[in-house]
Amino acid sequence: MSKKDSRTYLSDNNRNGKLKDLSNRLSKIEITSKSIRENSNKKNSLDKLIESIKNGQYNKIVVIVGAGISTASGIPDFRTPGTGLYDNLQRYNIPYPEAIFELNYFNKNSNPFFHLAKELYPGKYFPNINHYFIRYLYENNILHRVYTQNIDGLERMAGIPPDKIVEAHGTFMSGTCQKCHKKYSCEDIRQDIFNDKIPICSKMSRCNGIIKPDIVFFDEDLPQRFELYRKDLPMSDCCIVMGTSLSVYPFADIVDLTKHSTVRLLINRQLVGTFLKPRTNDITLIGDLETNIKDILTKLDAFHYITDLMKKENDQHEYNKKSQYKNHLKSSTTILNDRLKAAQTYLKEKEKFSRLNSNRQQVQLITKPNPVSYNESTKIIIEKHNDALLFNRKRSKSALPHLPSKQSSSSSSSSSSSLNSSLSECELMPFSFKRPSDSKTQSSRQIQARATTKVKINPLLNATLRTVF
């Protein structure tokens, strides 16, 4: 190739490169203009929606919220990497994060759940601007229902009545005994939870079941009230979704039950659920939830009213919390003082009793045997059996020898003659003596002797004198 041809080739390459660069720039300009048009359309749609809300064109707005609306109150959400609740449960020593909300694990070890419940219990946190945006919709009579995945109860604290709220995953506002199913309020078990004690049922005797707050655990059925979504979503004229990942079912499915003509507004950190493939009337506000809500309230000319209302009510909540804490301290102090007084009284009484015992003369109790008088016939029978026992001990053989029925020599003592006559049959029967029923006439009555069990083998070894005194 000549120098002229090579220069021509290089110039052609440079031209082609410049054309490519120009086309790339043009394509970028087209894409940018397209995104600007899309953003302007979204902005116009949002402004139109806000204007419609302001003018009262919507009167059946359904709001669907998740844990993201409570993060501004200091409560972490569940699934945000690094700051979410599931990433910070290692201190509870559970096998995996979801175990803290599993019923089988709760029945085995309920301590981790109640430690978490202490952090999330109603009264510790206060509602923020996101909750009061829902309050604004309620005060303007355009809120039909709010469906929440949260268990913190901040929607109630924001002044939204319970009939407008569907707590799909339960609430801390009530509890149920796991054995007898008796109901408790959150105030009934608050003290035990904050004292790091497991609340135990006391309404039924011998129950001793654990009182579990009415939080829906995994594999548990959702509340019956959740079924209202079958009517609420199809009849809604606007659906607002805030602060949720739409990853927990069946809650995530209810967003799709709205009509395709219904306007759906997503205010979230990222696109989720079916908003990834948006409908024609879908509007999305991606970014910080609190900032976007403040902008909406400003456009609705309600920002200052809502912030003043929120400050006033939260100050009242703070005052109630402090007064409740003071009352708790006062009652605890009163209980401690009563216990100290009872202990001091006990010690004084004990000291007084010990002094009385030390001053009291020591009295020795001497037990005197109860004198028993026997008549002559009883004494003869006792002597006869004693002699028989002594005679048997002197015998070296186990068999009893044959004794003659009569002896040639006459004995002067009556005890020996009675002994010989009783041993003539080589049998000695044990006797038992009956005490007379009337103790006053004991000395006058004779104790009657009667034969009891007849011993066949070696009767002298088993001969006993059984007297009943």
How much is the pLDDT for 233? 94
Between 215-219, 246-250, 342-346, the lowest mean confidence (pLDDT) is in 342-346
Distance CA 314, CA 320 (A): 10
Most confident segment among 19-23, 34-38, 218-222, 399-403: 218-222
| pLDDT of 295 over the 70 cut | yes
- Two structure tokens written together for 366: 């001497």
Distance CA 340, CA 22 (A): 91
Q: What domains are there in the chain, each with its CATH number?
A: 33-72+127-168+220-316 (3.40.50.1220)
Q: Which residue has the higher pLDDT, 368 or 320?
A: 320
User: What is this structure's pTM?
Assistant: 0.61
DSSP string, 352-387: HHHHHHHHSPPPPP-PPP------HHHHHHHHHHHH
- Evaluated on CA atoms 117, 122, 127, 132, the torsion sign reads positive
Tell me the average pLDDT across 129-148.
94
Distance CA 243, CA 150 (A): 11
Instruction: Answer whether 178's CB lies under 8 Å from 209's CB.
Output: yes
- What are the tens digits of pLDDT across the range 404-460? 544 444 444 444 444 444 444 444 444 444 455 555 444 444 444 444 444 444 444
Q: Which residue has the higher pLDDT, 375 or 154?
A: 154
Confidence of residue 86 (pLDDT cuts 50, 70, 90): low
DSSP 439: S
- What are the tens digits of pLDDT across the range 101-138? 888 888 888 888 888 888 788 778 899 999 999 999 99
Between 8-12, 83-87, 296-300, 334-338, the lowest mean confidence (pLDDT) is in 8-12
**Residue 180 counted as an annotated binding residue:** yes
How much is the pLDDT for 94? 81
What is the percentage of the chain residues whose pLDDT exceeds 90? 25
How much is the pLDDT for 112? 86
Say which residue the tokens 């049998």 belong to.
427
N-to-C CA span, the chain: 147
Instruction: Answer whether 100's CB lies under 8 Å from 113's CB.
Output: yes
Q: Would you say how long the chain is, in residues?
A: 469
User: Mean pLDDT over all residues of the chain?
Assistant: 75
Between 38-52, 138-152, 240-254, the lowest mean confidence (pLDDT) is in 38-52
- Whether the upstream peptide bond of residue 250 has omega within 30° of 0, thus cis, is yes
How much is the pLDDT for 79? 64
Tell me the average pLDDT across 45-69.
90
Amino acid at the residue 75: I
Between 101-105, 251-255, 278-282, 450-454, the lowest mean confidence (pLDDT) is in 450-454
DSSP string, 92-108: G--SSGGGGGBHHHHHH
Most confident segment among 92-101, 231-240, 314-323, 345-354: 231-240
Amino acid at the residue 157: M
- Two structure tokens written together for 128: 């923020």
Please list the active-site residues. 169
Distance CA 354, CA 294 (A): 76
Confidence of residue 387 (pLDDT cuts 50, 70, 90): confident
How much is the pLDDT for 421? 45
